Chain A
Amino acid sequence: MISTELLVNISAAAALFGMMAYGMFGGADFGGGVWDLFATGPRKREQRLAIQKAMGPVWEANHVWLIFVVVVLFTCFPRAYSKLAIALFVPFHLALVGIILRGASFVFRSYQAQEPSDAADTSIWGVVFGVASIISPVLLGAAFGVVTEGLIQVKDGQVEAHPAFWLTPYALANGLLALVTCAYLAAVYLTNETQGELREDFRYRAILAGTGTAALAGIVLALAWFEARWFVDRMLSPRALPVVIAGLFCFAASAWAVFTRRYVLSRVFAAGEICMLILGWGLAQHPFLVYPDLTFETTAAPHATLLFLVLSLPVGGLLLVPSLFYLFRVFKS
């Protein structure tokens, strides 16, 4: 018999794993949209075409990770999920508008083009695609910030939250950090899928976004010192600190690899950076799902539901991992 506590922790780990995957894959998709919007220079069209080629076959699968996280949360932690849904009603709705517009405009643009290469021209749907790619990660990042800031309080089962609390400087800084991280990730990945001058374009963009990421990380940290002190303390606790350091090391290593044109390495380290930082966040956050009132333990579904979901993970994994491997092997090798 597996203890409920263990099931709770495995479920929480599954949600965290989903977030890592969403960050690593979905994050790069958002970043792709950013570079599509800001495509400039003599190779503007080539940049857009490279982004479309890289995203086309995989973006739909990449975004299922978000659904995975949501489903694990509402199945395993239904009482926390319903509170989050109330507290984050507006930013999540707006993020959804972004996600819908993004996916739709991506296909609309390519179906509207007379020739496949015309889809790289500046068009209304292209702009919509780019703008939506900015809105969604900012809002999702801000939601992250709100949770770590401890602004969502639950008293007697009622959510107490200011409707505009996701507009605090700390939350918005988190949103911007998410955005530049996505942009960095995308630029690094794209250096792996391009050649020659085009690759230099993306290398240049990676350096730009990497600098932005470092700067914003500093700002977020400074704001956190005042706004989310408990979270800073927990990030520095022995449990989370090694992982956070590993994340920072990965970031530095990927930046070094971009500088020295070691593209494969930069991709590995950039992905590692995202994973480690999200993992560090999760370790710091645990046992709170929403600080300070909701823990994983107290909001968990009954034992049997958790057990079913946890047992389904290896079965689902057995189907999904080889399929994902096949997808990426066909298009990314």
Chain B
Amino acid sequence: MDSLTAARWQMTISLAFHMVYAAVGIGLPLLLVMVEGMYLRTGQEQYKKLAKKWSKVMGLLFAVGAVSGTALSLELGLLWPAYMEIMGAVVGHIFGLEGYAFFLEAIFIGIYLYAWDKISPLAHWLSGVVIATTGMLSGIFVLGVNAWMQQPVGFEMADKVVTVTDPIAIFKQPLWFYMAWHSTLACYLSVAFAVAGWYSYLALKGRNDAYVRSGLIAAMLLGGVCAFLQPMSGDLLAKFVFKTQPTKFAAMEGQFKTEKHAPLRIGGWPDEKTRETKYAIEIPGGLSFIATGDSTAEVPGLDRVPERDWPNIELTHLAFQIMVGSGTALMFVSVWFWIAWFRYRENVLSSRWLMRALIVCTPLGFIGLESGWMVTELGRQPWVIQGLMRTKDAVTPVAGVQGMFVAFTLLYGLLTVMVIALLWKLAQSSKDGEVAK
């Protein structure tokens, strides 16, 4: 394995790992604010019990996310020093803003987790609000840097050195706005459906008390709203990518030929050798319509760029299909749940098929999140900064990347096993929930 491959894999493992915890740090505080707010309003015990339980989960996952995030802030430079040199000079200040937001989040998470009995209930709830807000902002700022990597703006270079910068330019980059929406919603979806899945599991095991009901409803409120907003944000983002990164768009859709009246492909496997996407269900004119609003419009294919500028088309297309598929499934299940709720109210928890469907959906939010991230990042290859710097030119010249990759993979593997075991233990100790009827 050469340095480049090892560095890319280490980055993949580190980001894929961290992303789960980052999403929890964005989504779970919002759910906590919801249930703790309900407790303050109604005084019903089950809400407080939910808040206590979820805050334990948050305490565990936030700690792991905080250290893996610290690692990432250094890994970026350690693995990709040449990239860092340009990125730091042009949009490093966005990481600075992320730093402030994350700092606030870390401060208030300490207060939230440890000061239940030390500060007033309102102050406690407000620190939850601060965590939810700063968590969301941290994510959005990181996306700003990613949006810049997709479409670099705001600088001039001479002889590989950044000479002039415009730190405000990135704020006017529309891609950031579209990505921020799409990704924040994805974090909420991941957490909401993971939580909903757990309470559906308890419901399927026969529990239908206020505790389980409230947990499920809170999760499905957040999940339901986001599941509906997500396709819209995805559509806006896709249209923008079509205009600005046509190669990535073509890879996502498996569009090899430039053609008018391009079909929308559902599923399928793009074959780079024969340059066609096989086995897909094709909706004639669908892709042209999605990209432009006109089913006869021309969609530029991968034939427009030389093969050396192609991303990995198989993986990009596959990841895109998985993302859209999981998002669609979440939307349908949300509709099902809320229709059932309005018809059957509390009895909805006895609907075994619905509960089973929700259990199946437990990982789908995270799967959508990870695969969406893969679309963004794989689709940008072979560039690390689109059109400016190739990934292979950014990698560190230091020998021994392979060793670090192995060490980090083992480390993150160990942490994953441990986190799962501790979450399971935490779930088993849910005696506090049993009594609330």
Q: Which A residues form the contact surface with B (CB < 8 A)?
A: 56-58, 60-61, 63-64, 66-68, 70-72, 74-76, 78-79, 81-86, 89-90, 92-93, 96-97, 99-104, 106-108, 111-112, 159, 163, 301-302, 304-305, 307-309, 312, 315-316, 319-320, 323-324, 326-327, 330-331
Q: How far is the CA of A57 from the CA of B408 in the complex (A)?
A: 27
Interfacial chain A residues near B168, Cβ < 8 Å: 308
Q: How far is the CA of A326 from the CA of B119 in the complex (A)?
A: 11
Could you jot down 10 A-B contacts, CB within 8 Å? A56-B114, A81-B77, A82-B77, A93-B407, A100-B68, A100-B71, A103-B66, A111-B60, A301-B165, A330-B115
**Residue interface bits B236-268, CB-to-A below 8 A is 1, else 0:** 000000000000000000000000000000000
Q: How far is the CA of A182 from the CA of B165 in the complex (A)?
A: 40
- B344 touches A (CB below 8 Å): no
Q: Is the CB of A86 within 8 A of B397?
A: yes
Q: Is the CB of B396 within 8 A of A85?
A: yes
Q: Is the CB of B110 within 8 A of A111?
A: no
**Which of B98-106, B221-229, B305-313 lies at the interface with chain A?**
B98-106
Give the contact-size bracket for chain B.
Answer: 35 or more
Q: Is the CB of B166 within 8 A of A71?
A: no
Q: How far is the CA of A301 from the CA of B156 in the complex (A)?
A: 12
- B280 touches A (CB below 8 Å): no
Q: Is the CB of B115 within 8 A of A312?
A: no
Interfacial chain A residues near B89, Cβ < 8 Å: 75, 78, 301-302, 305
Residue from A60, A86, A96, A316 in contact with B81 in the complex, judged by beta carbons closer than 8 Å: A86
- B118 touches A (CB below 8 Å): yes
- Chain A contact surface mostly: helix
Q: Is the CB of B67 within 8 A of A327?
A: no
Residue from B69, B85, B99, B422 in contact with A79 in the complex, judged by beta carbons closer than 8 Å: B85
Q: Is the CB of A107 within 8 A of B59?
A: yes
**Which of B208-216, B323-331, B398-406 lies at the interface with chain A?**
B398-406
Given contacts A83-B81, A301-B162, A320-B104, contact A104 B400 (CB under 8 A): no
10 tightest Cβ-Cβ pairs between the two chains A and B: A75-B92, A78-B88, A103-B67, A74-B88, A82-B81, A57-B110, A308-B167, A85-B77, A57-B114, A301-B89
Q: How far is the CA of A96 from the CA of B405 in the complex (A)?
A: 13
Q: How far is the CA of A107 from the CA of B64 in the complex (A)?
A: 8
Q: Is the CB of A89 within 8 A of B73?
A: no
Residue of B nearest to A74 (CB): B88
Q: How far is the CA of A331 from the CA of B74 in the complex (A)?
A: 30
Residue from B60, B74, B104, B166 in contact with A319 in the complex, judged by beta carbons closer than 8 Å: B104
Q: How far is the CA of A85 from the CA of B397 in the complex (A)?
A: 11
Min distance, Cβ A147 to any Cβ of chain B, angstroms:
15
Residue of A nearest to B415 (CB): A104
- B90 touches A (CB below 8 Å): yes
Q: How far is the CA of A16 from the CA of B67 in the complex (A)?
A: 22
Q: Is the CB of B115 within 8 A of A57?
A: yes
Interfacial chain A residues near B92, Cβ < 8 Å: 71, 74-76, 78, 301, 305, 309
- B93 touches A (CB below 8 Å): yes
Q: How far is the CA of A320 from the CA of B109 in the complex (A)?
A: 14
Residue from A92, A104, A309 in contact with B93 in the complex, judged by beta carbons closer than 8 Å: A309
Q: Which B residues form the contact surface with A (CB < 8 A)?
A: 56, 59-60, 62-64, 66-71, 73-75, 77-78, 81-82, 84-90, 92-93, 95-100, 102-104, 106-111, 113-115, 118-119, 155, 161-168, 396-400, 404, 407-408, 411, 415, 418, 422, 425-426
Q: Is the CB of A304 within 8 A of B88?
A: no
Min distance, Cβ B7 to any Cβ of chain A, angstroms:
11
Interfacial chain A residues near B100, Cβ < 8 Å: 312, 315-316, 319-320
Q: How far is the CA of A327 from the CA of B105 in the complex (A)?
A: 12
Most buried by A among B63, B119, B166: B63
Given contacts A78-B86, A301-B88, A301-B162, contact A97 B396 (CB under 8 A): no
Q: Is the CB of B425 within 8 A of A89?
A: no
Min distance, Cβ B222 to any Cβ of chain A, angstroms:
25
Q: How far is the CA of A225 from the CA of B7 in the complex (A)?
A: 39
Most buried by B among A81, A92, A305, A308: A305
Residue from B71, B82, B93, B118 in contact with A308 in the complex, judged by beta carbons closer than 8 Å: B93
Interfacial chain A residues near B104, Cβ < 8 Å: 319-320, 323
Q: Is the CB of A304 within 8 A of B110?
A: no
Given contacts A320-B104, A327-B110, contact A67 B82 (CB under 8 A): no
Q: Is the CB of A107 within 8 A of B60?
A: yes
Residue of A nearest to B92 (CB): A75
Residue from A67, A82, A302, A312 in contact with B70 in the complex, judged by beta carbons closer than 8 Å: A67
Q: Is the CB of B164 within 8 A of A304?
A: yes
Q: Is the CB of A81 within 8 A of B85?
A: yes
Min distance, Cβ B182 to any Cβ of chain A, angstroms:
25
Given contacts A63-B70, A75-B89, A301-B162, contact A327 B111 (CB under 8 A): yes
Q: How far is the CA of A71 from the CA of B97 in the complex (A)?
A: 10
Q: Is the CB of B102 within 8 A of A67?
A: yes
Q: Is the CB of A74 within 8 A of B77?
A: yes
Q: Is the CB of A64 within 8 A of B102?
A: yes
Residue from A81, A97, A103 in contact with B64 in the complex, judged by beta carbons closer than 8 Å: A103
Q: Is the CB of B107 within 8 A of A61?
A: yes
